[in-house]
């Protein structure tokens, strides 16, 4: 995919995609997610910045946008009354490895962060050995073949250390 040609995600789409990625890793027994579970995940008060109050309509609209952009799919599973939703990030971002996926997930859920913040907040998704390992994975996201997925921001604007921002 040529990311420069594809539309960027809206804030709700980014939050929903981050939630789908996170829940697949942290609660695989309940993934794919129902619409209600997507709303609950989006509105969690832990591991989210900013805190949101999405409605089912907000989540449905974000999921529809992600589906149009080929980043999510709706499934009708046997024995399940409600449709379920899953991300298609692995198909969209071919070659996305676990460390990069963990960083992208946390960036989508919390926005711009430092290496230290990213290292501690990705612990449940991928345990980085040291800050250099985090930076190496961030470099892979910055140098992504179809266009950068993450931007490096030097210190300034109230931040004492460099930080990284999602570009989706």
Structure tokens at 71: 């980043």
The pLDDT value given to residue 5 = 45
* CA distances from residue 70 to 17, 63, 139, 161 in whole angstroms, order as listed: 11, 10, 25, 35
Q: How many CB atoms lie within 10 A of CB 139?
A: 13
CA-to-CA distance for 78 and 141, rounded, in angstroms?
37
CA distance 109 to 26: 14
Q: What is the dihedral of CA 107, 91, 133, 130, to 10 degrees?
A: 60
According to the model, what pLDDT value does residue 101 have? 96
pLDDT in tens, 121-147: 999 999 999 999 999 999 999 999 888
Q: Is the peptide bond before 50 cis (omega within 30 degrees of 0)?
A: yes
* pTM assigned to the model: 0.92
One pLDDT digit (tens) per residue for the chain, 168 residues: 555 445 589 999 999 999 999 999 999 999 999 999 999 999 999 999 999 999 999 999 999 999 999 999 999 988 878 999 999 999 888 889 999 999 999 999 999 999 999 999 999 999 999 999 999 999 999 999 888 999 999 998 788 899 999 998
Which pLDDT does position 134 carry in this prediction?
Answer: 98
Radius of gyration of the chain (CA): 16
- Decide if 163 contacts 112 (C-beta within 8 A): yes
């Amino acid at each position: 995919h040529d990311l420069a040609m594809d539309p960027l995600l809206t804030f709700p789409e980014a939050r929903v995609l981050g939630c789908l990625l996170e829940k697949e890793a942290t609660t695989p027994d309940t993934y794919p997610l129902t619409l209600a579970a997507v709303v609950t995940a989006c509105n969690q008060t832990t591991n989210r910045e900013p805190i949101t109050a999405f409605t089912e309509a907000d989540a449905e609209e974000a999921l529809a946008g992600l589906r149009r952009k080929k980043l999510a799919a709706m499934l009708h599973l046997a024995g399940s009354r409600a449709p379920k939703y899953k991300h298609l990030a692995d198909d969209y971002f071919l070659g996305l490895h676990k460390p990069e996926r963990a960083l992208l997930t946390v960036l989508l859920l919390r926005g711009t962060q430092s290496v230290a913040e990213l290292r501690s907040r990705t612990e449940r998704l991928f345990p980085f050995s040291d800050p250099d390992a985090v930076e190496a994975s961030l470099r892979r996201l910055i140098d992504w073949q179809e266009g950068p997925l993450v931007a490096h921001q030097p210190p300034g604007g109230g931040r004492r250390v460099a930080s990284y921002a999602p570009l989706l």
